[in-house]
Amino acid sequence: RIDDKQSSSSAEPIAFSAAPAGDLAADELQILCHFLA
């Protein structure tokens, strides 16, 4: 099962890097504003 952990953990950084940083930051700001409001 070690291979499963390696494949799943290595897939996460790829997904994060594939997403535009600007969109990620905007989403985080919207979430923060929603909770702070």
Span 3-37, pLDDT tens digits: 555 555 555 555 555 556 667 677 888 888 888 87
Q: What is the 3-state secondary structure (H, E, C) of the chain?
A: CHHHHHHHHHHHHHHHHHCCHHHHHHHHHHHHHHHHC
Q: What is the pLDDT of residue 15?
A: 54
Q: What is the pLDDT of residue 28?
A: 83
CA distances from 15 to 1, 12, 24, 29 (A): 22, 5, 12, 20
Distance in angstroms (rounded) separating the CA atoms of residues 3 and 22: 33
Q: What is the pLDDT of residue 31?
A: 85
Instruction: Decide: pTM greater than 0.75.
Output: no
- Range of the structural domain that residue 7 is part of: 2-36
Q: Between vectors from CA 17 to CA 12 and to CA 20, what angle results, nearest 5°?
A: 130
Q: Tokens in use for 4?
A: 């499963």
Tally of domains within the chain: 1
